[in-house]
Amino acid sequence: MSRHERLLYLAAHPLAYPFLRLVAHAGPVVRVPRLGVVVNDATLAHQVLRDTSAFRKTGPGSSGALWSPVVGSAALLNMEDADHKVMRRKLSGLFTAGYVDDLCDRVLVGPLAVLADRLASGRPVDLVDTTRICAGAVICALVGIDADEATCRRMFAHGEEITAMVRLSTKELSPTQVRTAKRVLGEITSPAAVTYESGDEKTVMGRMRELGLSKDEALGTAAALFLTGTETVATLVPRLIALLCDSGVQGRLADEPDLLDRCIEEALRVTTPSPAMLRSVAEPARIGRMKVRPGERVLIATHNCARAHGHDFDPDRVPPPELNRLWFGSGTHFCIGYPLAMAEIRALARTVTRFAPLRVVRRRYSTGVLIPTYRVLEVARA
């Protein structure tokens, strides 16, 4: 495993990470006190995620129980059955390839030009700051906030502040945490409400109104997009570039045009920006050989499932079919922002790697965060 990737995980979760890795060796499904039933195997993980009658995102210990007090009960990530299906259907036209490409072209053109200028001149660039600005700019554009760099950074920091309240064992937020998270989210949902009212179809809020979402549903969804779609992308890109530099693979990029896309897929596997998924057992069921009871919590250890298929970053590895992009989920809750995430990641990665070979000038790991991330990753032309 990349030494730096391991150190990133250890900095974020000094006790939980070694423990979670130990659990990986205990079998494909393991019952762990305080955590729940931990799934370490990709095939079983897909089975659990696809069985929405037995394993649900609502109920004790689920992500719904965690986030509903903050985002309301109709926010996609905490819905099931017909309500979820109807909402997904309404949103199916939201992140089309054309829309996400256009959005990224429009919103990222400024930050990417600054990035390219700096790299071209040989000066170092902190990719953490750059990707935060980009991810913040995209989310601001989605909800219709006209944002400068400082606003983008602030939005990003707000997201991080909320997700940092969650650890792998967190089952629900305390009343104080809920109040803080709601106050922080207000910075997104207040302007989002105005955009919804104005119905500007260039924004996702306006499009959600057009697609027939009520104001509450649209605001809940905006909060969900913010919580799930900012940090995931922003943490991945610096880690991807660090992996390219550390592994030496960047040296091959100029001669192999399809290599960057394979590197992105492999970096997603190795880093698993969303390292775990939660479900609540609703009816007696089995996960592999293990019987589970209603009310139990299931923790899909996505990171363990992905690492079982190789520790090192190797874009030449053919991903086994059972992995099937587990890092974006599976079944009805599969990441709705997948096309947008890939468009953002590609836009950033293509800009940076145009200046390969790069060298890492300085790096620092973040502590006290949910998603392992660099605090600083400065790169410059080698």
CB of 198 to ligand HEM, least distance (A): 21
Binding mask 114-133 for ligand HEM (x = CB under 6 A): --------------------
Binds ligand HEM (CB under 6 A): choice among 206, 229, 238, 315: 229
Place of tokens 């760099």: 149
Q: Are strands 297-300 and 36-39 parallel, antiparallel or unpaired?
A: parallel
Binds ligand HEM (CB under 6 A): choice among 68, 274, 280, 366: 274
Binds ligand HEM (CB under 6 A): choice among 228, 280, 353, 373: 228
Residue 21: CA atoms inside 13 Å, Cβ hemisphere, count? 11
Binding mask 50-89 for ligand HEM (x = CB under 6 A): -------------x------------xx----------x-
CB of 94 to ligand HEM, least distance (A): 9
3-state secondary structure 166-197: CCCCCCCCCHHHHHHHHHHHHHHHHHHHHHHH
- Rounded Cα gap, residues 375 and 127, in angstroms: 10
Written as one string, the DSSP assignment of 185-247 is HHHHHHHHHHHHHHT-TTSHHHHHHHTT--HHHHHHHHHHHHHHHSHHHHHHHHHHHHHHHHH
Place of tokens 């000066």: 123
Q: How far, in whole angstroms, is CA 180 from its chain's centroid?
A: 22
274 or 353, CB closer to ligand HEM?
A: 274
277 binds ligand HEM (CB under 6 A): yes
Dihedral, 105, 111, 112, 117 alpha carbons, nearest 10:
140
Site for ligand HEM in 296-355 (CB under 6 A): 327-329, 333, 335-337, 340-341
Q: How many residues bind ligand HEM (CB under 6 A)?
A: 24
* Residue facing ligand HEM at closest CB distance: 337
- Rounded Cα gap, residues 358 and 124, in angstroms: 10
211 or 380, CB closer to ligand HEM?
A: 211
24 or 77, CB closer to ligand HEM?
A: 77
CB of 327 to ligand HEM, least distance (A): 5
CB of 222 to ligand HEM, least distance (A): 9
CB of 229 to ligand HEM, least distance (A): 2
Q: Hey, what are 63's tokens?
A: 């992500």
- Rounded Cα gap, residues 290 and 78, in angstroms: 26
CB of 228 to ligand HEM, least distance (A): 4
Q: Hey, what are 129's tokens?
A: 């700051």
Q: Largest Cα–Cα distance of the chain, in whole Å?
A: 62
Interface positions with ligand HEM (CB under 6 A): 49, 63, 76-77, 88, 224-225, 228-229, 232-233, 236, 273-274, 277, 327-329, 333, 335-337, 340-341
